[in-house]
């Protein structure tokens, strides 16, 4: 009997979620269709701890990558995300220690993560280069939460909102460029970014939420615009 390389489940519309892989490719081009079913999601732990994987390309049919989907793929160095990706789960690429760069598609607006867990790129300590697709308007909730590799971030000048915990606990993040298109920075967006030294908040920002820069113990210089109407006491809590 022929053993299928991919296992999958089907939703009500007969679309596939990949749940496992038994092949041995080091460069994996995930198909957009399996057995005539459109592939729309990568399931929980589908490729977890596959240390043989070096390159993964995710087809544009995929809108969701679930929790721990590629967790512990410690040799995975190249990832191309779907251009239609809308959501990523907890630790989806967690502990992918060889991952050095990633481009985030503009379609990604949320991370489906419950309170108390980690962002999709947790402990990716070599992930230094982050690019956002042209036209990005939202930096998703918890997108780079606990991503230890990031040292600098340039947010594109189309972004209007930085969502809660987007860069929380990026402990090596030293500099961030916030463009003058941003109007709102949500709670804990840069919470516990302990290496962040200077922040320049543009005049377009009307509100800074609670604990946005709380725990940023290395912060020595902050430029606040006169346009800010309200700012809670906790915004810069535990900033020495």
pLDDT one-digit tens code per residue, 24-69: 899 999 999 999 999 999 999 999 999 999 999 999 999 999 999 9
The Cα–Cα gap between 49 and 64 comes to 19
Query: In this structure, what token pair is assigned to residue 225?
Result: 């615009």
The Cα–Cα gap between 29 and 4 comes to 16
DSSP 3-state of 236:
helix
State residue 236 phi and psi, 5-degree precision: -120, 30
pLDDT higher than 90, residue 167 = yes
pLDDT at 3: 54
Query: In this structure, what token pair is assigned to residue 47?
Result: 């490729």
State residue 212 phi and psi, 5-degree precision: -55, -45
Instruction: Dump pLDDT digits (tens) for 105-118.
Output: 999 988 878 777 89
pLDDT higher than 90, residue 1 = no
The Cα–Cα gap between 66 and 77 comes to 19
**Which of the four pLDDT bands, split at 50, 70 and 90, describes residue 240?**
low
Question: Which of these, 146, 135, 139, 188, lies nearest to 170 by C-alpha position?
Answer: 146
The Cα–Cα gap between 185 and 176 comes to 13
Higher-confidence residue of 234 and 99: namely 99
Burial of 42 (C-beta count, 10 Å sphere; 0-12/13-18/19+): buried
Instruction: Dump pLDDT digits (tens) for 139-158.
Output: 999 999 999 999 999 999 99
pLDDT at 108: 96
């Amino acid at each position: 009997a022929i053993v299928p390389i991919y296992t999958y489940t089907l939703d009500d519309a007969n679309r596939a979620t990949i749940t496992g892989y038994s092949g041995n490719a080091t460069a994996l081009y995930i198909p957009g269709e399996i057995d005539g079913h459109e592939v729309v999601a990568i399931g929980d732990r589908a490729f977890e701890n596959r240390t043989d994987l070096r390159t993964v390309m995710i087809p544009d049919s995929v809108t969701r990558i679930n929790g721990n989907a590629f967790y512990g793929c410690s040799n995975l160095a190249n990832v191309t995300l779907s251009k239609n990706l809308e959501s990523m789960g907890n630790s989806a690429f967690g502990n992918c220690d060889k991952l050095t760069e990633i481009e985030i598609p503009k379609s990604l607006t949320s991370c489906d993560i419950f309170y108390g867990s980690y962002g999709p790129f947790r402990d990716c300590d070599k992930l230094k280069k982050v690019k956002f697709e042209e036209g990005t308007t939202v930096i998703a909730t918890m997108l780079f939460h606990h991503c230890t590799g990031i040292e600098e971030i340039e947010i594109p000048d189309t972004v209007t909102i930085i969502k809660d915990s987007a860069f929380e606990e990026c402990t090596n993040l030293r500099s961030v460029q916030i463009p003058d298109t941003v109007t709102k920075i949500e709670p804990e967006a840069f919470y516990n970014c302990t290496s962040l030294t200077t922040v320049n908040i543009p005049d377009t920002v009307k509100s800074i939420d609670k604990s946005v820069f709380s725990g940023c113990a290395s912060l020595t210089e902050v430029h606040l615009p006169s346009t800010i109407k309200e700012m809670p006491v906790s915004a810069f809590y535990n900033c020495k």
